[in-house]
Amino acid sequence: MSGLTLQAVSPGEPEPATHELPLDQRRSRCRLRMRSVPGSRGLQLVCARDGESRWRFEVVADGDERIAVELELDADGELYAGSENRSVYTLPADHRFAPLPLVRHQLGRRQLELVFVIDGTTRAVEGSLLLDTSPHWATVVEQLVAIVTALGAGRVARLGLLAFGDHSLPILDAADLQPSYWLWPREAERGKLPWLRAGDLRARLLSLPSSSGGDFVDALADALALCAHLPPHATARRVVVVFGDSPGHSLLDPAPDGADLLPRAQEIEGPLLRLHAAGTLLVTIFHDADLRSAAGWAPHPDIPEHAQRQYARLASTPAHAFLLSSLDPRRVAKAILRPPKLRGRGCSYGILEAIEPLAAREVVGPPVEPALDDSP
């Protein structure tokens, strides 16, 4: 054999393993039958020669999608990857470009630590703040409480409630545009979160104060950062449920121009990496009311689409991203209780289902020019 190997996950196994590639001579080919891990946005192929990583390829795909990739060893011993109708990128072999570790579902942890993160700046259809609109907010509260009920008695070991507004805007003088808080309760601004009993959730949700956001990007990233730094529960797995319609500050997918007026110390990507590494399950519920009709969104009608896209990206997998208009608390509870056994983030290691040797390509050389006759 040529000593060429691939790092990939075998079906039913939690960690990547080394697989021999049937590329034993120059111009040999093989096809990989792979599946991307739920929660990922594609897979990374890490190929080595004699134990040393030499090639990294990223294949763009949705999570939990089956993919065929062809590898070919050329006449000079270089490896190339291709996939029909998909983008394949070649990365440096440096370990700094290695995929994020996969997260395995904590099967032994039956109980949950549930943290609700509420956007205190969420707007109702008519443009007022949702938390100040009693009938509408009370309906949402009942749906959130129904999620806890659907999880089952005794399932929630402890419960947290956190709301976010935004940082103050020094350039604005109008009192109604100044946030009432950055994080709520006030202990959260000091990095602490008091825990509740499940029976107290309804009353605490109904008493949450609203806040102006000032601009359109709010302190969601700060709320996620607090969740990422909370001390873990000894026996329960953490689930963070985000509800709202305001995006947080993002480096990878910035808000449209003019939507974020503040310099930010925190972006959503850093906390997401920490939450992922800790095995936290993220569930999002996007408030998809007709925001285009709200006067507060008129200067930036593209913000709702940006926010909805961000909430979908925040969720651990697409199956954990929900819209309020079609919310079924039982479906949310089922998604929380039955996450996939493996979860990825970004382009992660893929699941290898088969390796198929392929016939070498026929090599067609350049046309041979006829010799010139120099004879007189």
Same domain, 262 and 354: no
pTM, rounded to two decimals: 0.88
User: What tens digit of pLDDT does each residue of 165-217 get?
Assistant: 998 876 666 666 678 899 999 899 889 999 999 899 999 999 999 998 777 89
pLDDT recorded at residue 303: 84
Distance (Å, rounded) from C-alpha 105 to C-alpha 112? 13
> What residues contact 290, with CB distance under 8 A and at least 6 apart?
125
Distance (Å, rounded) from C-alpha 104 to C-alpha 279? 7
pLDDT recorded at residue 295: 47
Taking alpha carbons only, the member of 88, 50, 95, 51 closest to residue 72 is: 88
User: What tens digit of pLDDT does each residue of 285-294 get?
Assistant: 999 985 544 4
Instruction: Report the CATH number at residue 125.
Output: 3.40.50.410
Q: How far is CA 172 from CA 167, 210, 354, in A?
A: 12, 19, 60
* Residue 77 domain-assigned (yes or no): yes
Same domain, 82 and 130: no
pLDDT recorded at residue 299: 58
pLDDT recorded at residue 206: 97
Looking at residue 160, its amino acid is G
pLDDT recorded at residue 124: 84
Please say whether the beta carbons of 223 and 165 come within 8 A. Answer: no
pLDDT recorded at residue 13: 85
Residue ranges of the chain whose pLDDT lies below 50: 1, 292-296, 364-365, 368, 370-371, 375-376
Distance (Å, rounded) from C-alpha 102 to C-alpha 65? 16
Same domain, 16 and 96: yes
Distance (Å, rounded) from C-alpha 281 to C-alpha 40? 14
Phi-psi region of 27 (alpha: psi -120 to 50; beta: other; left: phi over 0): left
* Residue 371 domain-assigned (yes or no): no
Same domain, 82 and 122: no
Please say whether the beta carbons of 354 and 69 come within 8 A. Answer: no
Full residue range of the structural domain in which residue 167 is found: 112-339
Q: How far is CA 141 from CA 70, 199, 207, 243, in A?
A: 51, 13, 11, 11
User: Tokens 């109904």 label which residue?
Assistant: 206
User: Tokens 């199956």 label which residue?
Assistant: 319
pLDDT recorded at residue 64: 87
pLDDT recorded at residue 34: 96
Domains of the chain: total: 2
* Residue 260 domain-assigned (yes or no): yes
* Residue 275 domain-assigned (yes or no): yes
Same domain, 71 and 117: no
Same domain, 149 and 84: no
Structure-block tokens of residue 214: 């000032």
